[in-house]
Structure 1
Amino acid sequence: MRIHLPRWVVRLSIVTCTLLPVRGWAQTPSLPSSEVTHTVLLAGRWAPNQTSAAPLPLLQTQLQQAGKKSTLVFIGNPFQPATLPGVAAPDRPVLEEKLRAQLQYLQGFEGKVVVMPGEHDAKGKVVQEVRNQERYLSQVLGNDKLILPENACPGPTELAVTDDVHLLLLDTQWLMPNRRMDDKEEMRGCETVGGTATMAAVDDVLRSNEEKNLLVIMSVSPEMKGLEYKLMHRQLAQMYTEHAGLIHAEGNSPALQHRTKDSIHYVSTGLGASNMKPVKDTHPAYASNTPGFAKILYLANGETWLEIWTASDVNSAQGQVAYRAKLSQKPTTKQLQEKIQNMNLSFTGKTATLPASQVYKASKFREWLLGTNYRPEWSTPVTLPLFDIGAQKGGLKVVQRGGGFQTVSLRLEDSTGRQYVLRSVEKYPDAALPAVFRKTIAADVVKDQISASHPYGSLVVTPLADAAGVYHTNPQYFAIPNDPRFGRYLKGFANTIGLFEERPDEDMSDVASMGNAKNVVGTDKVLENTREDQNDQVDQMSLLRARLFDFFIADWDRHDDQWRWAEFKKDGKGKVYKAIPRDRDQAFFVNQGVIPNIASRKWILPKVQGFDESLRDIEGFNFNNRNFDRSFLTGLERADWIAMADSVKASFTDEAIDNAVRQLPDNIYKISGQRLASTLKARRAYIRRDAEDYYEFLAKQVDVAGTDEAEFFEVQRQQDGTTVVSVFKKDSATTAYSPKDRIYQRRFLPAETDEVRLYGLGGNDHFVVKGQGQEGIRVRIIGGNGQDQVIDSSNVEGLRRLTYIYDQPDGITIQAGTEARNLTRHRPTPTYDRLSYKYDYLGPLASFQFNRDDGFLLGGGVLLEKQGFQKQPFAMRHRLVGSYAFATRSFLVDYAGHFTRVRLGLDLKLNVNFKSPGFSDNFFGFSNESEYNPDIDIEYYRYRSSQLYVNALAGRKLGEHATFFAGPAYQAVNVERTPERFLSTLTTSDKRYTDYNDPKAYAGARLEYELDSRDVAALPAKGMHWVIGADLMKGTKATSQDFGRINSELSLYQTVRIPFKLTLATRFGGGHTFGDDFEFFQGQHLDGLNTLRGYRRTRFTGQTSFYNNTEARLRLFTFTTYLFPATVGVFGFHDVGRVWVDGENSKDWHTGYGGGVWFAPVNQVVISLGYTVSEEDKLPLIKAGFFF
């Protein structure tokens, strides 16, 4: 639970910081005479109840003196309002003016400003409006990297302020346990999602910059609880252990503060979230609540100093250095370069012979299991020139380490500023895995599968790209010598093989393979420019050529960051962008061996199908590229794809393929060169087939996005069902347009396309839909910002309307006939999200359980999920599972269907439960004290029946956690009459047993309410789960009695630490069956499988039931096996319950107790093994999941 400190405690802590002697108060040694190369100013809030963004006057004074070599970081966004509505909002100009006024005090500051998200950026603010504020502030200050991390993402964002000083910026609101960032639409596009991935990225940045002066700056979410804060700090501290001298800054303390622990410096800028307790591991070297800020100074001699400046009050422009301390000293890049420049070293003209790697050699069994792959190619030595960093490109210097998770790489720069990349051929994928997986089979398999990529594949790709007319980089292979001129970057590089190539960025006018472009940009910049300026466009045909080339060489990893773009000026206005693929590590990736082959199934990882003679599944192969292609290939028709496929195919002559493969080192060519060439020649025959198949996949739903300027969208429906969509530039103030202003046109065929989605985005857009036809394509119009207009005079035969209009009601005017549906009140209003595409899913299911009645209960089935527009998390889901109980030879089938937002915003659920003829169940009589004689074979208490239960329910979500559903239900039961069973001995004078073996049927209604706030359903640590279900049924046969039934369960979970993690769980449940003559199988049951452990299935039957389960789950430890990581714990429980029957005066309460062990493989699923004890029996219970 959240820690709320009483106000008097907060005030006392502030007074204490003020009045008590402050360590370090008098410690203000003078700075050395060395030049200050850069200054970082850290500012938090400076008043506990600050309501204005007006800065501390002292800070303003310092900013005017700081100069260009400085960076100001606000730890928490001080600017108000914290969010901005869209540009068309009526109050937008007023809010802009408020922000602009607050930025005045930054005028004259020559350095860089960084604003980190703060307290008022959280608390449920709309992420899009936070981004609006970010864009506006950036525009006013002329700084496109103002708010970091960007886009309301968690980061980490790495900012290099000098060659030696790197800032690492982190927003902790997404690091709180169980906050599922990946479920939020607005978070798509962030490089990391969730705490685990973010922390792994932090670790990677730290390890990649061991030689730098690192300053980690963290904004602490006000929603973070005290315990969560401590756990996060502990995790970060573990990462910091190998980075002595690192500085960690945040704004969570009630005071300006500096403390040191384990050679790490912690700096707080004061007066942050008051519900946070500062970490108390050490006494601070300095602490004061006086208004002020911190300065970190980096000197030319490698020293780093901290200064804390304070003012007498918040209104004073005068202040003093209240505290100064030397934090660390590291040799600077300049010092190291001067040291090695005097070395007379040269490797020009020299060679070395070495293998790419020796770690992929494998036994025959391992090759059978994981594939032969390119293991010989990796382990065969090749002779390569030595890389001479002092001579290559006229001499290079290392700018920074890079490489991300899998490669070790360096960014190099020549004397002109042109940059290059030198990266290892060997990969280190374990860094991309969560820490718990790094000593498991998962790490071994991931590492081993590097052998499935060709170590020298880039040498083949380059001439093939030339033949196909595809832009490319120009990689060269070198042996990296043990060269001291690499300095501190030499570790991990010496005596390895490296790949050296240009870094495609900015001016590449001297590189023909990149079109001699004067400017090369990244995908993010292309997206930004094409949205802001309708004259800027992507050359989709050149991109298609590059994508078909990807198919040919089996390069499956072509997401946004794998592309750069050559920028060319148009003859008129605007720019055109042509694609430059980069990073060809996955070219010719093979899939061999039992495990990889299974992993490539459509329901696991179909993208890794491998470099075979043909592609098995073009849709699955392109999984990583699903959003990229749907963003940039929207304007091409089938004829364009066919023409380009034929052109690409024709370029790959036998001679071109043989020449390309011959670029491999001779001893590598002897191993697999001919096989590589023959496979390429075989794949050539399928280029057109793959192109058409993939075109059909992309054509099913197409997004046509406008820009932030005004456009005219014209939709022409034709008689044969063809729909022609055209987009024109237009004057925002009129509806006029000219054919010469057309920026998009495509013909959509009903046989290919289900729907087209038109997004106006910004500007005052105009949509016109016209024409008639016998059939047509669904067209969705999403207006966006601005005052939009829709005119629909179209008509398509049939009952369905095919034009759907979405927008804010006050942001659009509509003139429509019979074909349009006005959905402007649809909630939520759709927005353009280019990263929203989800694949349909079809995969297997499995279930298991063991109990004394059924023995082993094993099952299998299938899960199918289909996606649809604005249907979250799916449009429909079908779950079908069949199970077989070996002890009773009984078969069960369960089907659950869920259809999202079918009509009127309502979901539809369809449930079917079928128990096969001969299904075995127990009945011990109607009584809370029914007898069970364990000396009698359990078969005596069993009866066999066939049962069918069906319901169809409509409902919707109520808030974030609740749902309500209601609808018709049907039940049919046929009980067999078996002699010498308990049921056959009962008197027929009781209507509940009369004609019990006659077929029964019932029809009626069911209602369901569910409230689920559990953090994780499979392994809950906190929250509640409340379910209420009611049936009202009428007998449809003469022997079927009317009845009603209501049941409810309430489960509560809370976790504490003692110091182990202990989860206390309790469940209250019960029910009542209405009617005097309901059948025995319609009563309320208590049993050991679902409600009361330690008893047989359906042990007690009555008209009313109540039970309570209380369980303590203690998490003992987490361990890592070779197969998987897992968490292990123990549990103990106590259950109590009873039933009530009219006419019975029973005071008995039945209890059960016991315990067991549980473990959670991969911390995703739970397997529990329990032993249950009651006054009647001692029974084992093994199942997937906890009891509740």
Structure 2
Amino acid sequence: MPFTYRVSLFSFLVLMGCARQPYFQPDARVPNAASLRPLGPDSAWVTAGRHYQRGALHNALLGKHYRPVWAMPVAMPVLGLRTAVPGTTLKPGKMGGGFQTSSLTLDAANGRSYVLRTLDKDPFKTLPKVMRKTFLLTLVRDQTSAGNPYAAFVVPPLAQAAGLLHTTPLPFYIAASDTTLGPFSKRFQGKVTLLEERQDGKENLDPSFGKATDLVDSEDMLEKRYDDPTHQIDEVQFARARLFDIWLGDWDRHEGQWQWAVYEEKGRTRYQPVPKDRDQVFYRFDDGLLPYLASRRWAIRKFRTFKPRYEDIEGLVKNARFIDARALHAVTRSQFQQQAAYLQQHLTDAVITTALHRFPPPVYALEGQHTQQALQARRAALPQAANTFYKLLAKHVTIPGTDKPERFLVERLSDTTTRVSMYRITDKEDKYRADSLCYQRTFRTDETQRLTLHGLGGQDVFELSGEVNRGIRIDIYGGPKPDVVIDKSRVRGWGKKTFYYDTKRDNELTKGPSTRDKTTKGVKMHAYDREGS
């Protein structure tokens, strides 16, 4: 780092000292709005966060980010519980929110629920207690400006064109004197907020969900998925949703950012993804010295900046590794390419233009053209991005069973391909009946280094066959109940390619020339993180 930068940085941190108090604007309403266009009583001129506006030195060190957008006066409707949702009246429900935002459930007279949450964030609780009164709190608070506060409002038309389920958030200002939220009023007075449909429970289903029977969160979905093989994720639809995330530059897509619409179809239950919380769309982070260093691959890699080119797919998808591994293990390269082509076809220039005009007009004047050009460039490169994402997923694929009995069939077809099939074990004579097939995918040796099979709670059977010169390593974890492993496969060479992990008791292992017995007296190898705990 050049000497002048080191001196400037040191001086800057010393000047910051303790956390700045107070930090946030006391009221989002623009103090002197006389020079702005007059508005009616149901609207107000507001700024999402004029406290993020800083000088040239600050911007050089910590990034300009979206500070002009946060400080830009925009016209916004004032929240009225009788008018926010046409045809119904809202009333305060339960207080919620994560570590950074305040959120409040608003219940409608028709039985549906909505969520009201603040647009600005306070990462106070994300820091260790010893750091909450230091300059680090001010530093972390300041970086909220890397997010575009109005980006979430642009997403619905894009998601609609992409054929994805979605919420439709709306912006509202809460008057500083508003008391209609009862005991929660003080938490929201003078704030800019986002109001959107609550995607939880069958009572919140609307016609856009078609024949869905329920809406559940990721934890509940995964619990059902691992309990019964007839419960399956719509992985191809999830692949489209994840490519859509990548296109938007939305890096924060962990399992808590998804709900799942439930569909009952011919004896099977299908879960279709419903994304929520679009806080990091169009993220802009690396335009200052400290954020640039912090976002390097050896540092906080997930903080990817939205640009016309995809700069680091692995960093962009890092936060979603848990749910990606569990909801994309059946999707092939060709299916990813099909979904990329679908998005290219449906996310037209006209769709993008219409969506970006959901920015407030002053914000569109600042960001609209630049964002459109970036989206168009990223759309053109989406097949390459999809291929990079697929290759990351394909390196190590985990295929879990359920707590019911299953039969895993691994066929080493050639030096280049291995097919894995999973069947429900039924009482019928044909053990490979098509209607009992739960999973099937052919893997390539040059893409996949390891396949991990988890039997989970059922009494499972693992059968391996085929004789090849080169092959993928197969790791088998039988689970707590008695299992059978029959390895008739052979991969020529010095190294073993089938590894069996289980307890020594009550399991039946028929070893082949490529089998390595890793059974032990302990039960630690039975562990599988089902819900992200």
Higher helix share: 2
1:504 and 2:199 matched: yes
The Cα shift of 1:518 comes to 3.0
Q: Pick from 293, 296, 308: which aligns with 1:601?
A: 296
Q: Pick from 79, 99, 107: which aligns with 1:387?
A: 79
Aligned to 1:352: 44
1:676 and 2:371 matched: yes
The residue type paired with residue 528 of structure 1 is E
Aligned to 1:1152: none
**CA–CA separation in structure 2 for the residues paired with 1:721 and 1:575:** 34
User: Structure 2 matches for 1:86-105, cutoff 5 A?
Assistant: none
**CA–CA separation in structure 2 for the residues paired with 1:726 and 1:652:** 35
Aligned to 1:372: 64
1:738 and 2:433 matched: yes
Q: Pick from 805, 820, 833: which aligns with 2:528?
A: 833
The Cα shift of 1:719 comes to 2.2
Aligned to 2:32: none
Superposed CA offset, 1:510-530 (max 9, x none): 534445633100001111101
**CA–CA separation in structure 1 for the residues paired with 2:448 and 2:253:** 25
The Cα shift of 1:663 comes to 1.2
The Cα shift of 1:816 comes to 2.5
Q: Pick from 414, 432, 435: which aligns with 2:108?
A: 414
1:521 and 2:216 matched: yes
Aligned to 1:932: none
Is the CA contact 2:96–2:103 (under 8 Å) kept in the aligned structure 1?
A: yes
Is the CA contact 2:205–2:215 (under 8 Å) kept in the aligned structure 1?
A: no
1:457 and 2:155 matched: no
Task: Describe the SS at the equivalent of 1:558.
Answer: coil
Q: Pick from 751, 759, 775: which aligns with 2:446?
A: 751
Superposed CA offset, 1:518-557 (max 9, x none): 3100001111101111101000011111100110111111
Q: Does the C-alpha gap of structure 1 residues 815 and 717 become closer, same or farther in structure 2, counting only changes over 3 Å?
A: same
1:471 and 2:165 matched: yes
Q: Does the C-alpha gap of structure 1 residues 832 and 698 become closer, same or farther in structure 2, counting only changes over 3 Å?
A: farther
Superposed CA offset, 1:276-325 (max 9, x none): xxxxxxxxxxxxxxxxxxxxxxxxxxxxxxxxxxxxxxxxxxxxxxxxxx
Aligned to 1:569: 264
Superposed CA offset, 1:908-961 (max 9, x none): xxxxxxxxxxxxxxxxxxxxxxxxxxxxxxxxxxxxxxxxxxxxxxxxxxxxxx
The residue type paired with residue 663 of structure 1 is R
Q: Pick from 524, 548, 558: which aligns with 2:253?
A: 558
**CA–CA separation in structure 2 for the residues paired with 1:732 and 1:525:** 29
The Cα shift of 1:440 comes to 2.3
Superposed CA offset, 1:452-507 (max 9, x none): 10111011111111111121111011121232222221113122211001110112
Is the CA contact 1:507–1:518 (under 8 Å) kept in the aligned structure 2?
A: yes
**CA–CA separation in structure 2 for the residues paired with 1:402 and 1:829:** 36
**CA–CA separation in structure 1 for the residues paired with 2:217 and 2:430:** 35
**CA–CA separation in structure 2 for the residues paired with 1:681 and 1:439:** 43
Aligned to 1:548: 243
- How many residues of Structure 1 are paired with residues of Structure 2 in the alignment? 490
Q: Does the C-alpha gap of structure 1 residues 468 and 439 become closer, same or farther in structure 2, counting only changes over 3 Å?
A: same
Is the CA contact 2:223–2:531 (under 8 Å) kept in the aligned structure 1?
A: no
**CA–CA separation in structure 2 for the residues paired with 1:656 and 1:518:** 30
Is the CA contact 1:397–1:412 (under 8 Å) kept in the aligned structure 2?
A: yes
Task: Describe the SS at the equivalent of 1:824.
Answer: coil
1:652 and 2:344 matched: no
**CA–CA separation in structure 2 for the residues paired with 1:359 and 1:503:** 30
**CA–CA separation in structure 2 for the residues paired with 1:611 and 1:584:** 14
The Cα shift of 1:509 comes to 6.8
Superposed CA offset, 1:322-371 (max 9, x none): xxxxxxxxxxxxxxxxxxxxxxxxx9972111111111010001111111
Is the CA contact 1:473–1:514 (under 8 Å) kept in the aligned structure 2?
A: no
**CA–CA separation in structure 2 for the residues paired with 1:689 and 1:832:** 36
1:539 and 2:231 matched: no
The Cα shift of 1:388 comes to 0.8
Aligned to 2:14: none
Aligned to 2:121: 427
1:480 and 2:174 matched: yes
The Cα shift of 1:683 comes to 1.4
Percent of aligned positions with the same letter in both sequences?
A: 37
The residue type paired with residue 138 of structure 2 is D
Is the CA contact 2:99–2:123 (under 8 Å) kept in the aligned structure 1?
A: yes
The Cα shift of 1:732 comes to 7.2
Is the CA contact 1:757–1:782 (under 8 Å) kept in the aligned structure 2?
A: yes
Is the CA contact 2:219–2:531 (under 8 Å) kept in the aligned structure 1?
A: no
1:806 and 2:498 matched: no
Aligned to 2:139: 445
Task: Describe the SS at the equivalent of 2:180.
Answer: helix
Q: Does the C-alpha gap of structure 1 residues 786 and 534 become closer, same or farther in structure 2, counting only changes over 3 Å?
A: same
**CA–CA separation in structure 2 for the residues paired with 1:545 and 1:463:** 16
User: Structure 2 matches for 1:175-214, cutoff 5 A?
Assistant: none
1:820 and 2:478 matched: no
Is the CA contact 1:509–1:518 (under 8 Å) kept in the aligned structure 2?
A: no
Higher strand share: 1
The residue type paired with residue 630 of structure 1 is A
The residue type paired with residue 485 of structure 1 is T
Is the CA contact 1:710–1:732 (under 8 Å) kept in the aligned structure 2?
A: no
1:589 and 2:280 matched: no
**CA–CA separation in structure 1 for the residues paired with 2:233 and 2:402:** 13
The Cα shift of 1:429 comes to 1.4
Superposed CA offset, 1:1032-1086 (max 9, x none): xxxxxxxxxxxxxxxxxxxxxxxxxxxxxxxxxxxxxxxxxxxxxxxxxxxxxxx
The residue type paired with residue 501 of structure 1 is E
Q: Pick from 389, 403, 406: which aligns with 1:708?
A: 403
The residue type paired with residue 727 of structure 1 is M
Q: Pick from 643, 654, 665: which aligns with 2:338?
A: 643
User: Structure 2 matches for 1:206-245, cutoff 5 A?
Assistant: none
User: Structure 2 matches for 1:625-640, cutoff 5 A?
Assistant: 625-640=320-335
The residue type paired with residue 366 of structure 1 is H
Q: Does the C-alpha gap of structure 1 residues 732 and 620 become closer, same or farther in structure 2, counting only changes over 3 Å?
A: farther
The Cα shift of 1:667 comes to 1.2
Superposed CA offset, 1:168-192 (max 9, x none): xxxxxxxxxxxxxxxxxxxxxxxxx
The Cα shift of 1:739 comes to 2.3
Superposed CA offset, 1:960-1013 (max 9, x none): xxxxxxxxxxxxxxxxxxxxxxxxxxxxxxxxxxxxxxxxxxxxxxxxxxxxxx
Is the CA contact 2:198–2:204 (under 8 Å) kept in the aligned structure 1?
A: no
User: Structure 2 matches for 1:708-1107, cutoff 5 A?
Assistant: 708-731=403-426, 736-825=431-520, 829-834=524-529
Structure 2 unmatched ranges of 5 or more: 1-38
Is the CA contact 1:514–1:580 (under 8 Å) kept in the aligned structure 2?
A: no
Task: Describe the SS at the equivalent of 1:821.
Answer: strand
Aligned to 1:1101: none
The Cα shift of 1:390 comes to 3.5
Higher relative contact order (CA 8 A, sep 6+): 2
The Cα shift of 1:603 comes to 1.3
The Cα shift of 1:817 comes to 2.2
**CA–CA separation in structure 1 for the residues paired with 2:276 and 2:325:** 20
**CA–CA separation in structure 2 for the residues paired with 1:440 and 1:513:** 48
Task: Describe the SS at the equivalent of 2:114.
Answer: strand
TM-score normalised per structure 1: 0.40
Is the CA contact 1:472–1:513 (under 8 Å) kept in the aligned structure 2?
A: no
Q: Does the C-alpha gap of structure 1 residues 435 and 757 become closer, same or farther in structure 2, counting only changes over 3 Å?
A: same
Aligned to 1:269: none
**CA–CA separation in structure 2 for the residues paired with 1:733 and 1:815:** 24
Superposed CA offset, 1:1071-1116 (max 9, x none): xxxxxxxxxxxxxxxxxxxxxxxxxxxxxxxxxxxxxxxxxxxxxx
The residue type paired with residue 63 of structure 2 is G
